[in-house]
Amino acid sequence: MDNHAALAAFAESLKARGSVQTEERYLRACESLILAADATPLAQLTQHDIQRALAKLHGKGWSPRTLAVTLSAWRAWFRYLYKTSPEVNPAVFSGIKAPKAPKRLPNALSETEAVRLVTAPEQNDSSASTFVTARDQAMFEVLYGCGIRIGELVGVDVGDIDLANAEMRVFGKGRKERIVPLGAPACTALRAWLGERNAQVPVTADDAGAALFLGVRGERVSAQVVRRALKERALQQGISSNVYPHRLRHSFASHVLQSSGDLRAVQELMGHASIASTQVYTHLDFQHLAKVYDQAHPRARKKPGSNR
């Protein structure tokens, strides 16, 4: 099997994971290895070849975070190929590490900004149809109200929502299923959207698995459409900072943790396999507490002319 055929087989296996974003990132990463290998069969690549390929990408200015994802994709590809082609050796990655990336705290909106963002504007864009307006409002309420990933949002089907019990089923990384609660604003927005949606594309008992959120042509809405709609809403609501779907997920986690202090509950709601992924939000919580301390405690207040 040549390198391109091996990549095509890997692409088919990635589709079963249920994340279009992961599939695209991994395929781009594996294509970079094919280019670096310069027609050398994968089975003949050595540890030195892998290190040299990674160094080339680093020299092109790829960030440590991107290189880490790239290396992870290469490892996953070789593990997959090893199942059917034992001559492909996953051990060539032993001891190889991507450059260490500086830790970045999640970029959350303030509670005031988040609520303003997802609140329907008093004056809607007159050029937008009621179909698009209702859909976008429901998507924004679900993104912030449930803290789900954009891939999970666009993957939701009509049969996954239960408005009677105010809950929704989503499929996360690795098609791992979880149930998330729906707040009252999200339920209200979803009911309004379903009225618009079903007027255009009726759902019968036989196709309850049809996509919940649709594009204007009746197809499942894309992640790109969601991102663009959210940026337009941010501008409309006077929020000048960069707003994107995953930032609402960060905001959800930060705000729930600040109010509840329940790290395990936030882990379950976020669908994190490891609590280490959730613990990063405790840093945001501490920042919030430190800010309150600086503003409220008499021994913390800055004095005129002081450096503190």
Active-site position among 149, 197, 247, 250: 149
Q: Would you state the structure tokens that stand for residue 129, as one six-digit string?
A: 């149809």
The answer to whether 48 and 93 have CB atoms below 8 angstroms apart is: no
Reply yes or no on whether 173 is catalytic. yes
Domain with CATH 1.10.443.10 in the chain: 111-294
Identify the active-site residue in 116, 173, 227, 288. 173
Q: Which of 58, 169, 227, 272 is catalytic?
A: 272
pLDDT given for residue 126 in this prediction: 62
Tell me the mean pLDDT in the region 1-27. 83
Examine the pLDDT at 131 and tell me if it is beyond 50: yes
**What's the rounded mean pLDDT across residues 197-206?**
78
pLDDT tens profile 141-200: 999 999 999 999 999 999 999 999 999 999 988 788 999 999 999 999 999 999 999 888
Please check the confidence at residue 1 and state whether its pLDDT lies above 80: no
**Residue 138: is its pLDDT beyond 90?**
yes
168 has which bridge partners? 161, 180
Q: Lowest-confidence range among 47-51, 101-105, 286-290? A: 286-290
Identify the pLDDT of residue 203: 73
Residue 273 or 251, more confident: 251
Check if 233 is active-site: no
* CATH no. of 111-294: 1.10.443.10
pLDDT at residue 139, as a whole number: 97
Instruction: Report whether pLDDT(84) > 60.
Output: yes
CA distance 145 to 302: 37
pTM of the model: 0.63
- At residue 308, the pLDDT reads 46
pLDDT score, position 173: 81
CATH 1.10.150.130 segments of the chain: 3-93
Active site annotation includes 149: yes
Tell me which of 28, 176, 191, 246 is the catalytic residue. 246
Is 26 a catalytic site residue?
no
Average pLDDT value for residue range 276-291: 68
pLDDT digits (tens, 9 = 90+) for 219-228: 999 999 999 9
Mean pLDDT of the residues in the chain:
85
Residue 19 to residues 93, 152, 175, 303, 304, Cα–Cα distance (Å): 25, 8, 8, 52, 54
Catalytic option among 135, 233, 247, 249: 249
Give the pLDDT of residue 18: 62
CATH of range 3-93; options 3.10.20.30, 3.30.465.10, 1.10.150.130, 3.60.21.10 = 1.10.150.130
Question: 57: burial class by Cβ within 10 Å (0-12, 13-18, 19+)?
Answer: buried
